[in-house]
Amino acid sequence: MKSKVFDITNGADIFKKIAADAGLNAGGPYTGESYDAAALLVLAMQRARSTNGESIADNLLAVANAPGAKILPGELAKGLSILNSGGPIDYVGATNVELDGVGETFGSYREFEIDNKAFKTVRFR
């Protein structure tokens, strides 16, 4: 399967601000991914109207991918409301979530370069 390249700057920047406002370090390993995993579980539960594991799994792709309203970090209530009224969502989150047909992520990572003894983000892949 060919890897996709995503521009996740918007969701990542929003997540960094939310984390900083809460006194958290958003730069830790898998912090954004953990945030997104928790959000996806909650959204899939809402769509399934169940906390049953099989029901959640059956609804995960439907909340993680298009079509639907884009849901960014900090917009969980918006996503829950849309799902509650029967509408579709596309959870983008902090890491630009996109799941393949079996529920695995295509992955994304930040490419750094050291500039004057400091890490500088070159791009997201």
| Domain spans of the chain, in order of start | 17-22+29-98
pTM of the model: 0.78
* 8 Å CB contact between 113 and 1: no
- Which residue has 């970090």 as its token pair? 73
The pLDDT profile of the chain, 125 residues, written as one tens digit per residue, is 344 444 445 898 999 999 999 998 888 888 999 999 999 999 999 999 999 999 999 999 999 999 999 999 999 999 999 999 999 999 999 988 988 777 767 666 667 789 898 888 777 66
**Residues, the chain:** 125
* 8 Å CB contact between 106 and 80: no
Cis status of the peptide bond prior to 67, with omega within 30 of 0: yes
Q: 115 — phi, psi (to 5°)? A: -130, 115
